[in-house]
Structure formats: structure tokens, C-alpha cells
Amino acid sequence: MQKPFNLSNLARLLAVAAALPILAGCGALPATPSAERDFVLAVIPDTQNMLDYRHQQAEGFKFDANDLFVGQMRYLADNARSAGGKVAFVAAVGDVWQHQTATMETDHAARGHRAVPNPYFSVELEVTPKAKTVEMPAALAGYRLLDGRVPFGVAPGNHDYDAMWADARFPPVPPQELGKLMAAHPQTPVESRPDLIGMLHIGGLDNFRSIFGADSGFFKGKDWYVASYHGGADSAQIFSAGGYSFLHLALEMQPGDDVLAWAADVMAAHPGLPTIVTTHDYLNGAGERHGNPIVDLKRLDDRHNDAEDLWQKLIRRHDQIFLVLCGHQRGQAMRVDANGAGHQVVQILADYQDRGQSAIEAGVPPGLRGRPVPIGDGWLRLMHFDFAAAVPSVQVKTYSPHYRRYSGETSDYAKWYKALEQPALSDGEFFAADDYRFTLPDFRERFGPPR
């Protein structure tokens, strides 16, 4: 799904971030990391376009884009600690696959929600059996490469829900009128105008649970899978690395109050553990806690909480939470805020789904608005935690198993991607957004020394 982005405050946010003591510049991963005091947390951004059935040779595409996804998973498995590498945990931010199997599931239909046709989201709203026959089996096969090699948690994204529909309360304007209405606001991206192109709602997680539910082969009986809610739509894992045990919470998209209460109970059951929260939609490309306005679930259904609600109701109230990971909105961003106890919480966005350089290189003609056909190019986030020094640090790197190199080693990186994702940045700023180090100055005050 094409995501809106807002770059108006990005330069200012980058400047503020650069002045914070948390940042310590860019650089390569340590050549000789200290034994048992370092590890890698891998983050899988939205993979939907790699698994999209339309992007496979069986549909006439130049190559099987899901090979990019398999390459990601094989790389993580080969570099897991169980294989002699450094990857101790894998967090997936959602939008694993692309398509749905229903227009609307029964719960929303029973509560009076109605769908309307929407010409602007014909791809996103396609209901197809190929979600189950092509996309979900590819996801299952990829994650099986991690099974037994490294613990992982997956947060569902909007495309992982059983149904996604254009909500009747925000009907789209006719295409012949759109240009005239947009002319009045030429600087406003059309993707941020739900009053013109409509708004999408989602419902049902049976498909997601069939792959990633609490009773799935991935998690049932695993000692590191410690809790679940809604059958595994929300889940909790514990992994030990770097001298600490970490709690990871994978939360559904824009979760309701009941999910937040469950998350609080899980933390209470595991007091003192440094906690990472992964959820799909939290930061935008400008580093603001603003969700995608086209998929603003709270506006459509008061059972949901938006990003600021999630911060106020859960994250800032629980001092165990020190890191938040998300995707959904195109681009890269980082922000740091003090929680209610005065301790820092690092919040990071990474979403590479719309990248299409590998499609260009394969001879795939441009798609919508002359842009490359989006397939993601296999980019991953690798967060290298080092607890050997007096002040712990985290080196953030971005790596593509397809290109077999880091973003900082890719001379054309900004040329390939900056114009689509964050055109207001200089090339140097764009490189820095995917290759930087930050420190955790209050980590040991909160969680004690490594063991």
C-alpha cells in the first residue's frame, strides 16, 4: 500500500536528534566485539510487496520477488547465534503479505460498518484466493527458515488482516474531480487527503493467526514465547543476550485498551526486564507520532488507539519500555522522548517496501506515476547492541542480502531511493538516516549491570 509522508519537520527533527547526547555518529560495526556483551536485534520491515502474488513469475513478472524475502530470512538464519552469528532476536513490524480474503469480516459488519467502492485503492482492496494460495504459503516458508534457529515476534499490519475496505463514512470523490480539488492545495500529497480519496478500515485476524497464532508450530511449546492475547494477534517473547533478558511485545495495529491492559499485565509478570515494543503504525517519516491518515482506525472506530494514545497510555507509563519499533509509513525516522520516570525511550521507523531498484535492473517497466514497481529490494534493519562499554550503545545498520552490502557501502543509495522517500534531505542526511549509532545512557540505572 502506498503510504503518505510528511517531511516538513524532518530537517528540524534531524537537527534536534544530532544535538542529543544519545547520538554518537556513524561508523562500521566493531571489528572485535566483546564476548557475550553484544548481539544483533534484526528488524524485518514490511515485506508485502515481495510476497505480492502479482510480483512473481507465474503472473508474468520478470522474476520471483519472494526470492528477495527468502534471501532475507536465510541471511538471518545463517547469522543467528545458534549458527555462530550475532542475531539474537528478530522483530517483524507487520504487513507480511499483501492481499485479503474478505471484503469485511463478521464483527464489523454486525456493528454496522459499510464498504463503498474506491478507485484509488483497487490493488490494496483486492480480495483474492491467492492471498492463501501464494502469499501466505510464501510467508510460512520464509519464517520456517528461522524456526528453531532464532526467537522472533511478528506484529500484524493492516495488510495481514482478513479484510480491508473503503469505509462508507469517507467516500472518495470521482476521479474526474480529484485534479480540480487538489489544485487548490498543490503542496499537499494526495495520499494525505482522506476527505478526497477516502479512508480504509480493517478487520479480522484469522489469516494471521493461522500462520503466527499462539498454537502455531512456530510458538507452541517454545519456552521463549511467554504470553499471547487474541489467540496470538498480540504476543510476548523473552530472549537473553548481552548479559540481559529482554521482553519483546508484538502488538496489533493501533491496539485497543484491552490490548494495552494485557501488555501492562505481561510487564507486571516480568518486572524489571528491559522491554521492546513492536507495532505496525506509530511514527511517520518526519519522526512524528502520527499514523497514516488513510488508515486512521481510531477515527473510524473508537475501539482503537492511535500512536499518541499508545505513547500516553502505555509506553510513557511503563519504565521497562526503552525501545519502540515500527513500519507502515514510507521512510526512516528516529525520535527520543523522556517517559514518565524521566528516562529515555528510543522510537524508530524503518519501511522500505516501495523500493524498486531491483525491478528496474530486471527490466520491469515503471508503474504508478512512473515510479519503480515496489518490491522492497530486500533491505533489513540490523541493530548491534554493545554492553561492553560503561555506556551501552547501539549501532544501526541497513543491509540487503540481495545486494550483499550495507546502505553505507552502496554509492547509489540516495540516487535510488531518496527522491521517493525523503527528498528534502541531503544525500548525507539520507545516508545517515540508515547508518548511525546511539547510546543508552540511563540503561544500567534502570536495569542494572549485565549478568
Q: Could you tell me the residue ranges of all domains in the chain?
A: 10-101+129-155+213-447
Confidence (pLDDT) at 370: 82
pLDDT digits (tens, 9 = 90+) for 312-358: 999 999 999 999 999 999 899 999 999 999 999 999 999 999 999 99
Mean pLDDT of 291-312: 94
Confidence (pLDDT) at 317: 98
Tell whether the model's pLDDT for residue 29 goes beyond 90.
Answer: no
Mean pLDDT of 407-426: 94
Tell whether the model's pLDDT for residue 118 goes beyond 80.
Answer: yes
All 3 cell numbers of residue 182?
487538489
Which carries the bigger pLDDT value, residue 434 or residue 370?
A: 434
Mean pLDDT of 422-437: 95
Share of the chain above pLDDT 70, in %: 92
The 3-state DSSP class for residue 396 equals strand
- Is the overall model pTM greater than 0.85, yes or no? yes
Confidence (pLDDT) at 35: 52
Confidence (pLDDT) at 25: 33
Residue 179's pLDDT band (boundaries 50, 70, 90)? confident
Segment among 56-70, 157-171, 174-188 with least mean pLDDT:
174-188
Which carries the bigger pLDDT value, residue 11 or residue 116?
A: 116
Residues in contact with 451: Cβ distance below 8 Å, sequence separation at least 6, in sequence order: 243, 244
Residue 368's pLDDT band (boundaries 50, 70, 90)? confident
CA gap 104, 11 in Å, rounded: 40
Tell whether the model's pLDDT for residue 38 goes beyond 70.
Answer: yes
Instruction: Give me the torsion for CA of 45, 297, 255, 443, rounded to 10°.
Output: 50
Tell whether the model's pLDDT for residue 14 goes beyond 60.
Answer: no
Q: Per DSSP, which regions of 179-330 are E strands?
A: 200-203, 225-229, 234-241, 244-251, 275-279, 321-326
Q: C-alpha distances in angstroms, 300 versus 234, 295, 304, 309, 310?
A: 21, 9, 9, 15, 17
Confidence (pLDDT) at 365: 93
Burial level of 183, CB count in 10 A (0-12/13-18/19+)? exposed
The 3-state DSSP class for residue 188 equals coil
Residue 181's pLDDT band (boundaries 50, 70, 90)? confident
Instruction: Give me the torsion for CA of 22, 25, 26, 30, rounded to 10°.
Output: -70
- Write the DSSP symbol of residue 242: T
Long-range contacts of the stretch 406-415 (C-beta < 8 A, 24+): 406/435, 407/379, 407/431, 407/434, 407/435, 408/26, 408/434, 408/435
Q: In the CATH hierarchy, which fold is given to the domain comprising 10-101+129-155+213-447? A: Purple Acid Phosphatase; chain A, domain 2 (3.60.21)
Confidence (pLDDT) at 291: 85
